[in-house]
């Protein structure tokens, strides 16, 4: 995702998030999509920490969004795979004489 899309997503979040209680369905959808786009950008950059914070912030505003909940689950699955790989490497390094 180009940086310009990241900036557009952040700008849309900054514009819509403060008015979340007054948003139309279409604007709520746009806000959700902006959060998802920003999170996906961070994932593509290898920044799971920022992706997680982004989705957690989004869920604070839009707790009923199944897309955001699915994204949160996906991020946690990526962390689980990462932790599993770290554990595998640690076991492998401990077996060497």
Closest CA to 31 of 42, 17, 18, 43: 17
Q: Is residue 48 within 8 Å of residue 42, measured between CB atoms?
A: yes
Residue that has been written with the tokens 């007054």 in this structure: 22
pLDDT of amino acid 43: 96
CATH number for the domain spanning 25: value is 1.25.40
Q: Structural domain of residue 48, as residue ranges?
A: 3-95
Q: Give pLDDT tens digits along the chain (97 positions).
A: 567 889 999 999 999 999 999 999 999 999 999 999 999 999 999 999 999 999 999 999 999 999 999 999 999 999 999 999 999 999 998 886 6
Number of domains in the chain: 1
pLDDT of amino acid 5: 84
pLDDT of amino acid 95: 80
Closest CA to 57 of 34, 78, 80: 34
């Amino acid at each position: 995702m180009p940086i310009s899309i990241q900036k557009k997503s952040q700008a849309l979040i900054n514009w819509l998030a403060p008015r979340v209680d007054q948003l139309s369905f279409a604007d709520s959808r746009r806000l959700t999509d902006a959060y998802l786009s920003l999170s996906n950008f961070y994932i593509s950059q290898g920044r799971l920490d920022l992706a997680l914070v982004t989705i957690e912030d989004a869920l604070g505003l839009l707790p009923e969004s199944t897309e955001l909940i699915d994204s949160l689950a996906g991020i946690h699955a990526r962390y689980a795979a990462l932790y599993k790989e770290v554990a595998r490497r640690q076991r492998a390094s401990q077996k060497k004489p």
